[in-house]
Chain A
Amino acid sequence: MANNLGLVIEREYLERVKQKSFLISTILVPIIMIGIMVLPSLFLFLGKSETMKVWVVDNTGKIFNRLEGNDDIEFISASAPVDSLKANEDVGSILVIPATAIENPERGITLLSRESISMMSDEFVTSQLEKTIRDIRLESYDIPDLKEIIQKSNADVKLSTVRIQDGEDQETSSMASYFISLAVDMLLYMFIMIYGQMVMTSIVEEKTSKVLEVVVSSVRPFQLMMGKIAGVGLVAITQILIWAVLIGLATGLGAPILMGQLASDPEVPTEVMTGIGQFTDPVFLISLLINILLYFIGGFLFYSSMYAAVGSAVSNIQDASQLSTIATMPILISIMGSMAIINDPSGALAFWLSIIPFTSPMVMMARLPYGVPVWENILSLGLLYASFVGMIWVCAKIYRVGIFMNGKKPTLVEIIKWARYK
């Protein structure tokens, strides 16, 4: 009977991989992903074609000469009065600077435009005006080299965060930790939503096609559940490997462009790059990776078994989608929890959420980059995997009773009662 588990896994895997829908989704998803990555920059590139011309009516006589345009905005000196400019169809935007602008810039400076003005243009014009007026004001104090003095006295602080551990201090980066946590959590969330529900559907399909009674007369429900989850898990791994290769190939070709773009943007990369660069301790890095893998697998197994329980309890797919909220709720709570604990990764909330199996995979994943005591780590993993096996056992019970319940949608109380049946 032991190799029946293998047979169930084999069937579940082969039948899914052989489906046309598997092929289609495996090919379509990377195309869509690449589309999402490439399209915005493509639009940005296409949208950049025109320079916005701004006619400046400068009543102070001092500001216009100092305004500097860029690729998107060009400042033009206007000789005509405002009303005639307004009447001129060729004039797109008019910047009106009153004579009091230097003394009183808070009011009176107006940008008139025929089309709506983008936030970027608004910010650019404002910053140009602020800089110019500040310079003019500074010069009015008539102190030599004042501008240089102020520039020199500006301080640019970069804070290094260091975690004390075993006498050996380790540099960490909350920025990088945050990004890694978030990314891994989102991945796990998607993984569970797609493949966890696949387990549920697989069980319900057996009920609607009525093959289940033949199956349960040959396989123990426990083996059947295990086999389904493992089979779907293997499908997931296969699909993700194919995606990884496809996306790798695509970005391998597109990477130079992407990197070039990142490097030209001065703010984001320095933070991220230095952050990533700070994970230099190989021991920490390896334990982090192993942990991520363990929680990823554990999370998938545990949540799939929850979905399996839902599938076991209902007799059709409509009821299943309603009841699957039971499995989806803890996931959503986990995501909110992960966000919440990022402010306090070692607090009581973080501790409990990362120990309780319902929330532990995601919340622990969010905590890991900040460093977690070993005993907490082991306790949480142990509980997670033990609850997975326990959940499958409960599933098998529910499944056995669920066979007899045709048509009627069970309540949660009934399901719990079923789990206690002999």
Chain B
Amino acid sequence: MDNIITAEHITKQFTGHRALDDVSVSVPRGKVYGLLGPNGAGKTTLIRIINHITAPDSGIVTFNGHPLTQNDVSNIGYLPEERGLYKKMKVGDQAMFFARLKGLSRQEAGARLREWFERLEISDWWDKKVETLSKGMAQKVQFIVTVLHKPELLIFDEPFSGFDPINANILKREILRLRDEGATVIFSTHNMSSVEAICDDITLINRSHNILSGSVADIKEKFSNQAYRFTFDGNTDSIREIADRAGLIMTPGVPDRYGHSTVTIELGNADRREIISEFNNKTNLIAFEKLTPTFDDIFIRAVSESNYHDDEANNGKEEFSNGK
């Protein structure tokens, strides 16, 4: 696959704490790539390394097939989580300054800025000082500054924080439009509901490690565990018998006031068609549907599993050293 940026075996150590430990990610071109993880997992450090703001202790970052250099930075647009603008500068001057820093000429920057200001309906802010804007307003300006030079790679760190739902939707629309125009987007967040709506692929970082990577569809499939919800007439006895025999995990269920019972069963590796036809034979099956986990579920499951393994490994070490 054609990757715009790959980071291989990245390790970054700060005094007394390892922010990234052998993390690798590959971002396919023209996609929206979600970089997920709990607070303090190392997302921002990884983004700063990709941005050439800081260097990794070991590992290599490749941009468009060559090792990342300072010159590639003009091909990257970065919206940091810690947002800010020069407070005393006027909105227009400020946008112009950053646009020219990214290598645009004054004329080119002016034309593009006017277009963007119109699109986000903020044209009358041009001569306002930033300190007079609200947080959300300033973020719109910052968004424009990030994307104005039409970089190949856009990096948004928590782009929706501070936005009301209406403006968040406008932003979402613009991000997807930029992708459709050919840009690659790295999108860092811990807001899972936006992941499904926007991302094509994700990487989940927890405690400095990459614990999950892949396309959104694949990951959902992997975490679904073939869970199905069945609704049928009568109680659950006959169905539990089948499930137990096949060794399947099944939730308890009691008939509702119409005499219908609803249970969730994880079919796992079992033959789905066979099981279902057996159910159908033994009960009066009214409905069944496949359940797909939300990304919230996946996130929580993946993170807690990885923490559990971590802790277990650490406990093991401690016991070992105690035994000595």
**A11 cross-chain contacts in B, Cβ below 8 A:** 89, 97
Interface residues of A in 158-172 (CB under 8 A from B): none
Which residue of A7, A209, A217 is within 8 Å of B53 (Cβ)? Answer: A217
**A70 cross-chain contacts in B, Cβ below 8 A:** none
**A218 cross-chain contacts in B, Cβ below 8 A:** 73-74, 98, 101-102
29 contacts between A and B (CB under 8 A): A1-B70, A1-B71, A1-B74, A1-B103, A4-B101, A7-B100, A7-B101, A11-B89, A11-B97, A206-B86, A209-B85, A209-B86, A209-B87, A210-B83, A211-B84, A211-B85, A211-B86, A213-B82, A214-B83, A214-B98, A217-B51, A217-B52, A217-B80, A218-B73, A218-B74, A218-B98, A219-B101, A403-B54, A404-B54
**A209 cross-chain contacts in B, Cβ below 8 A:** 84-87
Instruction: State in angstroms the CA–CA spacing of A206 and B78 once bound together.
Output: 17
Bitwise, B89-117 to A at CB < 8 A (1) or not (0) is 10000000110111100000000000000
Q: B285 an interface residue at 8 Å Cβ cutoff?
A: no
Q: B276 an interface residue at 8 Å Cβ cutoff?
A: no
Bitwise, A189-233 to B at CB < 8 A (1) or not (0) is 000000000000000001001111111111110000000000000
Q: B88 an interface residue at 8 Å Cβ cutoff?
A: yes
Q: What is the interface of chain B, defined by CB distance below 8 A to chain A? A: 14-15, 45, 48, 51-55, 57, 70-71, 73-74, 76, 78, 80, 82-89, 97-98, 100-103, 142, 145
Which residue of B45, B71, B78, B84 is within 8 Å of A217 (Cβ)? Answer: B78
Interface residues of A in 1-34 (CB under 8 A from B): 1, 4, 7, 11, 15, 19
**B71 cross-chain contacts in A, Cβ below 8 A:** 1
Count the A residues whose beta carbon is within 8 Å of the partner chain — how many?
26
Instruction: State in angstroms the CA–CA spacing of A205 and B209 once bound together.
Output: 34
Q: Is the CB of A400 within 8 A of B53?
A: yes
Residue of B whose beta carbon sits closest to that of A6: B100
Instruction: State in angstroms the CA–CA spacing of A209 and B138 once bound together.
Output: 12
Q: A422 an interface residue at 8 Å Cβ cutoff?
A: yes
**B48 cross-chain contacts in A, Cβ below 8 A:** 403-404
Q: Which of the listed residues B55, B76, B80, B101 has the most CB atoms from chain A within 10 Å of its own CB?
A: B101
**B101 cross-chain contacts in A, Cβ below 8 A:** 4, 7, 215, 218-219
Q: Is the CB of A15 within 8 A of B86?
A: yes
Q: Is the CB of B14 within 8 A of A217?
A: no
Q: Is the CB of B86 within 8 A of A217?
A: no
Known contacts A15-B86, A400-B54; A213/B80 CB under 8 A: yes
Q: Is the CB of B53 within 8 A of A214?
A: no
